């Protein structure tokens, strides 16, 4: 099948999806949250405002209004000047590149817009001081512990926004997995104390921007306006309050963001500047999901093209980031969010699917403005070399540096799952973890990989491990003591379960997040004894990890698993931690002679979970047991 890029907007459909240039319909400004979108006399301008003193002096304004592309725009200002004005094929757009001088002061710019009839109109645009940016951008470090949640399914703090008149999806039914359930930003903010108690240092909600799709609009991954908070979650003030309250508790904020696609109700998609903003095929073509094609030295160009330019779904138009105006639009929106709200980190959804040179430029421009902003990409791939290819290059895998600090570590996720569900062998069982970590040579910063046991797309770890709470604890302890930035999915701390068949089953409501719930799992009294046991286990590990740099800054030493018995150490000059897990089917001795290079004669240790002192010369480890020891100097 040949690929065809459509260069005009006169076609009736793009693979029967009715992507027509509109007749010039202008967005109704009464339907727009003016906290996130600027409208002046029916002009839409993105970004809504900008700052002086930025690293880059230039910002490209997308100006939208019926017929604005046939107008002339001028500016008389001592602090800013128009260096480029470009018309789109669609006459409803104009792209203005504004150069802001180093001496420019905050204030209001007045553009003069002269239409084709000679009529003049004023368009105001605000510049703010860079010092007025919101606090944030602390970045993530290996000391952090991330909590991933789905806003619509976590807690309903404001009943008045459950349904919003005029939005496409009017569903509100907690019994239906693909309907909206009513969770929101107010509910998230109301339970920050709960997360603080658990030991969380960073919170990662699924996307909170507008997702005004007719069906399954709850998840946020098909955005329809990337400058606007979804009104069913709240508004710009609610999100700012959430960020502020998180920061007050020492909890960093991760924004989930998508560059690969939009929803088919996105306002720009419904009135495209030109069709080169999309990756378009003769017939609807889905991505092949084969990220390995980008790494494979033998890959066919067709497979690479299908990987990056194929669509995720019919209602998710695939964006062509090679279009310079679209690239600027996406990058500047990310700079704006970080500056406006004080975002600490971006988790980049479907990182492998957009144009990779664009992703490199994105990271470079974000880091030039915010050097501490932490970026990590979702790389749902198989094989460490493929996963490592997307990270900051160590010089062995590709010719350029992606400037991406981290990715989601699917390889360790696979290894931990296999280690706890299969028999041991030369490469099976605990050896899965050993071999996975041995490949860390391919990463520049393996300590910054974001590790996890499940998420909103995967079966919950509690179910994967046969609802064996002991195994769940072992999985959690492995994640919390191995290298990387650990993250858990909401509800893991109380043993929520289910398989992702479909994924809606692992996106259930958190019990207690809605008035009238049978039990409130946010409180100790509302949790069962077993749930409190698991909650306390995670809390103990998380808070111990915060206080002991050996677990996030220390070096790592692992020993080859023997008979499915695996032991490793985390250590600094002043602290040594020993982790041993036995799935051999029999009780094992602790082989002090084998570990002498790290024990250095020490024979005493403290169990970090119980506080008890143990004698390593007489200690044994039973089958299906895991021990975490702090080595004591004799």
Long-range own/partner contacts, residues 22-27 (CB < 8 A, 24 or more apart): 22/92, 22/270, 22/271, 24/66, 24/67, 24/91, 24/92, 25/66, 25/271, 26/65, 26/66, 26/92, 27/64, 27/267
Residue in 557, 567, 564 with CA at minimum distance from that of residue 590? 567
Cα distance between residue 42 and residue 20, in whole Å: 22
Integer angstrom CA distances of residue 114 from 61, 71, 438, 539: 17, 5, 65, 62
Total residue count of the chain as it appears in this document: 634
Query: Is position 349 annotated as part of the catalytic site?
Result: yes
How would you classify the pairing of strands 555-562 and 202-205?
unpaired
Q: What residue has token string 């009839």?
A: 117
The C-alpha angle with vertex 177 and arms to 172 and 178, in degrees rounded to 5, equals 70
Cα distance between residue 263 and residue 483, in whole Å: 36
For 379-422, the three-class secondary structure string (H helix, E strand, C coil) is CCCCCHHHHHHCCCCCCCCCCCCCCCCEEECHHHHHHHHHHCCC
Token readout for 27 is: 């967005």
Which residue out of 210, 309, 378, 493 is catalytically annotated? 378
Token readout for 6 is: 């459509």
Residue in 410, 535, 459, 488 with CA at minimum distance from that of residue 147? 488
Cα distance between residue 605 and residue 617, in whole Å: 10
HSE-up of 420 (CA within 13 Å, CB side)?
29
Which residue out of 169, 349, 405, 509 is catalytically annotated? 349
The C-alpha angle with vertex 598 and arms to 593 and 600, in degrees rounded to 5, equals 70
Query: Is position 378 annotated as part of the catalytic site?
Result: yes
Residue in 36, 149, 74, 105 with CA at minimum distance from that of residue 454? 149
Q: Give the residue numbers annotated as catalytic, written as ranges.
A: 349, 378
């Amino acid at each position: 099948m040949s690929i065809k890029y459509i260069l005009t907007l006169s076609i009736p459909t793009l693979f029967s999806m009715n992507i027509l240039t509109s007749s010039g319909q202008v967005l109704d400004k009464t339907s727009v949250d003016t906290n996130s979108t600027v409208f002046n006399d029916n002009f839409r301008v993105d970004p809504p405002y900008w700052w002086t003193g930025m690293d880059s002096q230039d910002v490209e304004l997308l100006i939208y209004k019926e017929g604005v592309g046939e107008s002339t725009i001028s500016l008389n200002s001592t602090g800013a000047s128009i260096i480029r004005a470009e018309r789109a094929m669609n006459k409803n757009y104009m792209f203005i590149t504004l150069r802001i001088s180093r001496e420019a002061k905050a204030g209001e710019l007045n553009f003069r817009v002269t239409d084709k009839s000679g009529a003049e109109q004023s368009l105001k645009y605000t510049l703010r001081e860079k010092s007025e940016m919101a606090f944030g951008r602390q970045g993530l470090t290996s000391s952090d512990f991330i909590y991933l949640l789905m806003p619509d399914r976590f807690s309903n703090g404001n009943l008045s926004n459950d349904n919003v008149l005029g939005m496409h999806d009017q569903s509100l039914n907690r019994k239906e997995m693909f309907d909206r359930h009513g969770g929101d930003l107010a509910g998230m903010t109301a339970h920050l104390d709960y997360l603080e108690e658990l030991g969380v240092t960073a919170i990662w909600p699924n996307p909170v921007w507008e997702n005004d799709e007719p069906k399954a609009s709850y998840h946020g991954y098909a955005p329809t306006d990337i400058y606007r908070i979804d009104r069913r979650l709240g508004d710009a003030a609610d999100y700012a309050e959430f960020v502020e309250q998180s920061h007050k508790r020492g909890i960093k904020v991760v924004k989930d963001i998508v560059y690969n696609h939009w929803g088919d109700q996105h306002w720009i998609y419904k009135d495209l500047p030109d069709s080169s903003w999309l990756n378009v095929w003769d017939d609807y073509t889905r991505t092949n999901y084969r990220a390995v094609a980008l790494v494979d030295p033998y890959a066919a160009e067709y497979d690479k093209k299908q990987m990056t330019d194929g669509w995720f779904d019919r209602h998710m138009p695939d964006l062509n980031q090679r279009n310079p105006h679209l690239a600027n639009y996406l990058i500047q929106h990310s700079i704006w969010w970080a500056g406006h709200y004080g975002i600490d980190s971006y988790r980049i959804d479907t990182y492998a699917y957009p144009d990779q040179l664009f992703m490199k430029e994105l990271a470079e421009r974000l880091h030039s403005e915010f050097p501490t902003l932490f970026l990590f990409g979702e790389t749902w791939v198989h094989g460490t070399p493929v996963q490592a290819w997307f990270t900051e290059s160590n010089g062995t895998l590709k010719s350029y540096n992606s400037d991406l600090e981290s990715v989601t570590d699917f390889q360790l996720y696979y290894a931990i799952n296999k280690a706890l569900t299969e028999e041991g062998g030369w490469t099976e069982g605990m050896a899965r973890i050993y071999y996975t970590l041995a490949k860390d040579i391919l990463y520049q910063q393996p300590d910054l990989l974001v590790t996890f046991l499940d998420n909103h797309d995967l079966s919950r770890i509690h179910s994967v491990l046969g609802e064996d709470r002991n195994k769940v604890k072992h999985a959690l302890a492995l994640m919390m003591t191995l290298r990387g930035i650990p993250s858990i999915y909401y509800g893991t701390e109380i043993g929520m379960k289910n398989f992702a068949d479909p994924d809606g089953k692992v996106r259930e409501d958190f019990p207690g997040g809605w008035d009238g719930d049978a039990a409130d799992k946010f409180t100790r009294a509302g949790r069962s004894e077993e749930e409190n046991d698991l909650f306390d286990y995670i809390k103990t590990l998380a808070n111990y990890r915060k206080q002991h740099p050996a677990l996030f800054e220390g070096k790592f030493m692992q020993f080859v698993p023997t008979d499915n018995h695996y032991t490793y150490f985390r250590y600094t000059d002043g602290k040594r931690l020993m982790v041993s897990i036995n799935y051999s089917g029999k009780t094992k001795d602790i082989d002090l002679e084998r570990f002498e290079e790290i024990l250095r004669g020490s024979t005493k240790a403290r169990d970090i979970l119980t506080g008890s002192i143990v004698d390593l010369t007489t200690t044994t480890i039973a089958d299906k047991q895991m021990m975490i020891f702090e080595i004591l100097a004799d």
